[in-house]
Amino acid sequence: MDNNIAALDSVFHALADPTRRAVVQQLARGPASVSELARPFDMALPSFLKHIGVLEASGLIGSEKSGRVRTCRLKRRRLAAAERWFEEQRALWAGRYDNLDNLLETLNGGENES
């Protein structure tokens, strides 16, 4: 459970940056090398590599080096865990309206009886 909390902390922290979200979006289309990923950004490579490091630390992406090429891929499971957090909040919110519906039904029922 504590692991999950720490994981969500680092996933949301990783996603709180437009460059890192764009990298995730690119990797959702399929694996890519670091140089392919860096191309759209007007950024020095060391700065870009810091973003890659934050994404790897969050568990959102993994990478493998083959020769001189480092290839990154998305780790869907971690992304899905973060999405589930939103689904849980939506379920609570929906439950709240179910409760209001029940209350209104009870109140209306009460009116009919009077």
Q: Which spans of this chain sit near a second copy (rule: CB under 8 A)?
A: 5, 8-10, 12-13, 15-18, 21, 24-25, 28-30, 74, 76, 79, 82-83, 85-90, 92-93, 95-96
Shortest Cβ 3–a second copy spacing (Å): 12
Task: Give Cα separations from 84 to 7, 49, 89, 109 (angstroms).
Answer: 13, 28, 9, 37
Please identify, using beta-carbon distances, which residue of 38 and 79 lies nearer to a second copy.
79
Of residues 69 and 91, the one with the C-beta less far from a second copy? 91
- Give, in degrees to the nearest 5, the angle at Cα 43 between 40 and 48: 90
Q: At closest approach, how far in Å is the CB of 83 from a second copy?
A: 4
Comparing CB distances to a second copy, the nearer of 39 and 76 is 76
Helices (H), 29-75: 34-38, 45-58
CB of 110 to a second copy, least distance (A): 22
Residue bearing tokens 């720490």: 6
- Alpha-carbon distance of 12 to 1, in angstroms, equals 17
**Least distance to a second copy from the beta carbon of 104, Å?**
15
d(CA 8, CA 60): 11
